[in-house]
Structure 1
């Protein structure tokens, strides 16, 4: 057997244990200081103004779309070469996924195919950066601009990847990341985050992840229960400092 992937690398084991002990000792397990700190640190790492921790990468896409006002009656163009969760997240938001073909070299969504798929119902483009290979974001931004479409980037497999010198996730209105254990930055369980360029989108995403609450027990809109818990946030904080090294090694 040839070792390929270890989900518990030795170099971060001590810091991960210390992170877990810190949360248990504090006794604060949901929406606490570890999540606040991780969101700040992850936003800085990805070059985003705002980061919001959620339960999964799938939820991150769905919440990002809803926070942008995308839902029933809308179409979202995405790649057919991705895990099913990209399309499922669009459906979770109430919109309809529309597949556009991929570029034969990048294996990511083809901007010309996206342009051909635009209809009067199209509201957004969801490019998937696959295996760390970014989609042609410069061309996709042009397509989105011509048709007044939002861009939500699926970065679930592309933490710290760049496109023409810019971090993926920085080209659109929002981006989604997964922290499933096998991802570039993995938790010890499920986890995800979305980043947002605008404060109002970030604020709405925070409401949506927490049952639509604008204040405690005041549910301003229909939301979901999708919060990155304190233990996973602490673990991700411990591992985040190793991510540049792991990325360079890849």
Structure 2
């Protein structure tokens, strides 16, 4: 019996065409087992109260974040391990990244994870840190980004960006029906910010109100970058989850 098995195994190994065919068969079966069940469930991501798409200003900031390659040194995914919890807080939820295209999970941390950096520092701190990192974190090896405060933010293409994101499933509104659906889902204030037709106006209004770069007379890329960073990890009220979760580590 063993000899027959060895002979069959050897026959497969030395026959490249048969080996490739059987390999593809096994991969196909495994793929179907993983993918087919997804077609029989309504949602693959749990609904989490508070999570919403980015506002136009926050989305512009995220685009700059990606453009500058910040994701190569900073992850945005807290794993469910004790050391991660003690340093960064509650582990990341899938729902927090459902409107990210692409998501910023990452696996490399030359710098700290940023999934919970929002509102941890002041706007002024972020501006100083981006312009001259070592002035606030002496041991930092992060490059300087002084041009963010000097470069005017381009707002002319924001509607096009939101329409593109809408095509891949982000619920920005383009019709009255979609607007009303967003009111019911996210609340009226958020729905106003997610209206494509008012995107540029809303972007400017949020930047003026937030004064993220410390200069209301200019709308800069720093405004958008800081607005994005200050949002990260702030949409979910983790006090509803932390008590039971933290108890596991006490």
Please tell me the TM-score bracket, short chain as reference.
under 0.3
Highest Rg: 1 or 2? 2
With normalisation by structure 1, the TM-score equals 0.26
More helix by share: 2
More strand by share: 1
